[in-house]
Amino acid sequence: MESSQNFPMMGKVEVDETYLGGQDNKALGRNEGNKKIMVVGIERGLGGVSRWYGRVIETASKINLGEFVTDHIDKDAQVKTDCWNGYKGI
């Protein structure tokens, strides 16, 4: 299902990326091997998660992560991420 991008997440939003696709003993660290990378944004409300968006991306780069943030998160939202370099400057 595709997002209309008409209702960006607002307020407190957490963003993180993860690797999906089972264990690959040959892939170490951020070497994804045959796995797919998914970035997820979660809007936090009073009762927990209000809503979320996710997208499969080619790499966890600043460009791909930035496009996700621009497409799904309001510019005035308080965005929380981990310390991955791809999030710097977003």
Bridge partners for 56 per DSSP: 38
- At 22 the pLDDT is 75
Find how far residue 84's CA is from the centre of its chain.
12
53, two tokens: 């968006």
**Would you say residue 52 lies in a domain?**
yes
Domain count, the chain: 1
- Is residue 48 in some structural domain? yes
Break the chain down into helix, strand, coil percent, rounded to 5: 15, 40, 45
Question: Whole-model pTM?
Answer: 0.81
The full length of the chain comes to 90
Show pLDDT as tens, one digit a residue, over the chain (90 residues): 556 667 899 999 999 999 998 776 666 665 656 789 999 999 998 888 899 999 999 999 999 999 999 999 999 999 999 989 999 988
Owning domain of residue 28 = 12-83
- pLDDT for residue 21: 86
End-to-end CA distance of the chain: 25
pLDDT of residue 48: 86
Tell me whether residue 72 is in a domain: yes
